[in-house]
């Protein structure tokens, strides 16, 4: 049985595989009791009995089978998740949120910073399967030991333009060094028609958006996936409110034109 609507009912899910991705970051490949349909950019609530639950975007594309969640150890729930092993069970409910628009209408530019690469990985792999788009992907992190999915992304270098960059390079690093906008300014051409998709720490948003605007993108064609203090996923608790919108219900993906005045989310 498939479920493709938002559900408040928690299911059991088995952890099939755990992969070390980067420093303090692991990917969990899980199989729920029921097949769950989702869109790139949506999120699920994962729970551990006796510990709590937290929201996580899906890193896998819908066609990849198992649900993949790439999780950084940073708090009580994520630390508990990092202690789990293959074969353990957790709770899952969702999907929630709106996801990314899936027709770029031209060139698609995907930009991920740090753990923000997880939801845009889902989108990138979906677009690679869906059609023959002109694709760019910029993947940035603090250092080589923090960068995600490097080998996977480089495997698609013939089909899309992949740029890996780190703030501080180690000896032996073969790719770009510097903040992600430096690489965008260096490699990304002027874009007459297309869509940009961005996820990462809020401190990066305003600089990335400015660069995209300079490259020709319209405000309404720049989509940001926001990290906020989501808790209930229903729009009830108010933790993730932006003006009259809630990140968990109306987002987490918003066009820049709708949220450009909310400085707290665009630090």
Give the span between the Cα atoms of 4 and 16, in whole angstroms: 22
Whole-number pLDDT of residue 249: 87
Last residue of one domain, picked from the residues 61, 96, 131 = 96
Q: pLDDT tens track of the chain, all 267 residues? A: 454 455 578 899 999 999 999 999 999 999 999 999 999 999 999 999 999 999 999 999 999 999 999 999 999 999 999 999 999 999 999 999 999 999 999 999 999 999 999 999 999 999 999 877 899 999 999 999 999 999 999 998 888 999 999 999 999 999 999 999 999 999 999 999 999 999 999 899 999 999 999 999 999 999 999 976 666 777 777 778 888 888 888 889 999 999 998 877 676
Residue 2 CA to residue 256 CA, distance in Å, equals 33
Between the alpha carbon of residue 176 and those of residues 19, 186, 191, the distances in Å are: 25, 10, 22
Claim to verify: residue 74 and residue 160 sit in the same structural domain: no
Residues 87 and 181 in one domain: no
Domain count, the chain: 2
| Domain residue limits at 125 | 107-265
What is the spatial distance between Cα 190 and Cα 206, in angstroms, rounded to a whole number? 19
Does residue 122 sit in helix, strand or coil? helix
220 near 257, Cβ under 8 Å? yes
Question: What whole-number distance in Å separates Cα of residue 187 and Cα of residue 67?
Answer: 33
Burial of 75 (0-12, 13-18, 19+ CB in 10 A): exposed
Q: What is the pLDDT of residue 228?
A: 65
Query: Taking a C-beta distance cutoff of 8 angstroms, is the pair 178, 205 a contact?
Result: no
DSSP secondary structure code for residue 169 in this structure: P
Beta-bridge partners for 156: none
Of 96, 116, 133, the residue at which a domain comes to its end is 96
Given a contact cutoff of 8 angstroms between Cβ atoms, the answer to whether 258 and 223 are in contact is: no
The residue from 47, 75, 96 where one domain ends is: 96
Q: Does 102 reside within a domain?
A: no
Residues 89 and 147 in one domain: no
Q: Do 254 and 129 have their domain in common?
A: yes
How far is Cα of residue 32 from the mean position of the Cα atoms in its chain?
21
**In what helix (H) or strand (E) does residue 186 lie, and over which residues does it extend?**
helix 180-187
The Cα–Cα gap between 110 and 130 comes to: 15
Check whether residue 52 and residue 114 sit in a common domain: no
**Do 115 and 234 have their domain in common?**
yes
pLDDT for position 1: 41
In a domain, 130, yes or no: yes
Residue 101 lies in a domain: no
CATH number at residue 256: 3.40.50.80
Looking at the fold, whether 248 and 116 belong to one and the same domain comes out as: yes
Residue 112 is assigned to a structural domain of this protein? yes
Count of other CB atoms within 10 angstroms of residue 117: 29
Q: Which of 154, 157, 153 is nearest to 122 (CA)?
A: 153
* In a shared domain, residues 207 and 77: no
Q: Is residue 226 part of a domain?
A: yes
pTM of the model: 0.93
- Residues 116, 248 within the same domain: yes
User: At 27, which CATH number?
Assistant: 2.40.30.10
């Amino acid at each position: 049985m498939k479920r493709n609507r938002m559900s408040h009912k928690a299911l059991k899910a088995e952890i099939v595989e755990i992969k070390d991705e980067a420093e303090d970051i692991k990917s969990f490949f899980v199989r729920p009791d029921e097949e769950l349909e989702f869109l790139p950019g949506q999120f699920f609530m994962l729970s551990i009995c006796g510990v709590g639950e937290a929201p996580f975007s899906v890193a896998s594309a819908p066609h990849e089978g198992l649900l993949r969640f790439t999780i950084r150890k940073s708090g009580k729930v994520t630390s508990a998740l990092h202690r789990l092993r293959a074969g353990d069970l957790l709770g899952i409910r969702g999907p929630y949120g709106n996801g990314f628009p899936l027709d770029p209408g031209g060139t698609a530019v995907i930009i991920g910073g740090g753990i923000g690469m997880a939801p845009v990985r889902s989108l990138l792999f979906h677009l690679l399967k869906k059609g023959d788009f002109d694709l760019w992907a910029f993947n940035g992190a603090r250092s080589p030991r923090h960068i995600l999915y490097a080998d996977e992304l480089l495997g698609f270098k013939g089909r899309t333009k992949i740029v890996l960059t780190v703030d501080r390079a180690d000896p032996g690093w073969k790719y770009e060094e510097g903040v992600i906008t430096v690489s965008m300014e260096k490699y990304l051409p002027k874009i007459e028609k297309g869509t940009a998709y961005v996820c990462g720490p809020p401190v990066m948003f305003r600089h990335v958006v400015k660069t995209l605007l300079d490259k020709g993108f319209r405000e309404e064609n720049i989509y940001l996936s926001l990290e906020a203090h989501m808790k209930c996923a229903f729009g009830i608790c108010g933790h993730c409110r932006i003006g009259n919108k809630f990140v968990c219900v109306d987002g987490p993906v918003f066009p820049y034109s709708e949220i450009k005045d909310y400085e707290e989310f665009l630090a």
